Homo-oligomer: A and B are copies of this chain.
Amino acid sequence: MKLYSSLLTVALLASSAMASSDLIKKATDMGLAPIPNTNLEVLKLINDPKDPITDEKVELGKMLYFDPRLSRSGIISCNTCHNLATGGVDNVPAAIGHKWAANPHHLNSPTVFNSVLNQVQFWDGRSPHLADQAQGPMQAMPEMASAPESIVQKITSIPEYVQRFAKAYPNQKITFTKIADVIGVFERTLITPSKFDDFLNGDENALNKEEKAGLNLFIDKGCASCHTTIALGGTMQPFQVASQYEFMSVGDFKGDKDGMVKAPTLRNVELTYPYFHNGAIWNLADAVKAMGSVQLGIKISDKEASSIVTFLKSLTGRMPEVTYPILPPSTSKTLKPQMD
């Protein structure tokens, strides 16, 4: 017994002192991947050759992202629910939109940060990329509630926007699609490299001992089977594999037609509370434990959850510095805000 106990202690020590290079290999073997640490590699990652990133597009896209005139009321912008000050989310359970309506399915706003790394967009994965995604909330009645033609009317009535579009997309018509496209270009730039990336990129001291232990446990418990790839999420995964969500009564979302759900990115998860598709859980350790039982069919102890949370906090990234835009004024031609 004493010998066994000693052997166990040694084994545990060995595990906690697992060579960093081995842990990096273990993580990458599981499909986890870092945001690269060179600008050129990052650009390759976030760029879309069909609509390449340029300074003109990023600046215009940023202005539109913050422009509340894209909403029917004139007071809700993309940034209202995907607030760059607060992890790219609104930190409320279900998005509040036009006329204070909550999302009808009680869906929680996903973060815009690193959303370019998702393989699909929206909780049901119905959108293949950001430029497509951006068209949704602008039109959705309980969100920005704008008709596409109203948005085009507003933008084309404002000379500075017309000039900026001409520079960003020479000789192209300003359409609703184009407006969403350029917002998508800005959003593609919103990535947040973290200590976790530094570690996977080879800086063995970027994570401390506790964070490394948490990462190891995150993999061993199976979290990384769904929260995988560079996004640690962003792919469609089976929903409620092992048991029902206890809090499923909140909202009516049941996944896509095949019962699949987009596993949210875990990057910046420290900031993107409340958790899950319906924002029903506020505490990150509680969320980890619930995922264990619902998705993995295992019990994750308080201590284990705490260790995993320690790792998850290492995913809080370095936020891009965003200069708050100065928006051009409306003209006499610009459609007026409508509060009804």
Does A96 count as interface, using CB distance less than 8 angstroms? Answer: yes
Tell me if A75 and B99 are in contact (CB < 8 A). no
Q: A75-B90, A85-B66, A270-B329 are in contact. Are A322 and B324 (CB under 8 A)?
A: yes
Main secondary structure of the interface of A (DSSP, over half): loop
Instruction: In the A-B complex, list the 4 residue pairs whose CB atoms are closest, starting with the nearest.
Output: A100-B100, A322-B324, A85-B327, A324-B324
Give the docked Cα–Cα distance between A86 and B337 (Å): 14
Tell me if A90 and B66 are in contact (CB < 8 A). no
Chain B residues with Cβ below 8 Å from A99 are: 100
Does A237 count as interface, using CB distance less than 8 angstroms? Answer: no
Interface centre among A73, A323, A327 (most CB of B within 10 A): A327
1/0 per residue, CB under 8 A from B, across A40-78: the answer is: 000000000000000000000000001111000111000
Q: How many copies of this protein are present in the complex?
A: 2
A100 CB, min distance to chain B CBs, angstroms: 4
Tell me if A332 and B75 are in contact (CB < 8 A). no
Does A253 count as interface, using CB distance less than 8 angstroms? Answer: no
A106 CB, min distance to chain B CBs, angstroms: 12
1/0 per residue, CB under 8 A from B, across A72-112: the answer is: 01110000100111110011100010011010000000000
Task: List 28 interface pairs A-B (beta carbons < 8 Å), by A numbering.
Answer: A68-B83, A68-B86, A68-B90, A73-B92, A74-B90, A74-B91, A75-B92, A75-B96, A84-B324, A85-B324, A85-B325, A86-B327, A87-B329, A91-B337, A96-B339, A99-B100, A100-B339, A102-B339, A270-B329, A271-B329, A273-B329, A273-B330, A282-B336, A319-B326, A322-B323, A323-B323, A323-B324, A324-B324
Q: Which residues of A contact B (CB under 8 A)?
A: 66-69, 73-75, 80, 83-87, 90-92, 96, 99-100, 102, 270-271, 273, 282-283, 319, 321-327, 329-330, 332, 336-337, 339
Interface centre among A66, A86, A96 (most CB of B within 10 A): A86
Tell me if B326 and A85 are in contact (CB < 8 A). yes
A6 CB, min distance to chain B CBs, angstroms: 38
- A327 to B, closest residue via Cβ: B85
Give the docked Cα–Cα distance between A337 and B321 (Å): 27
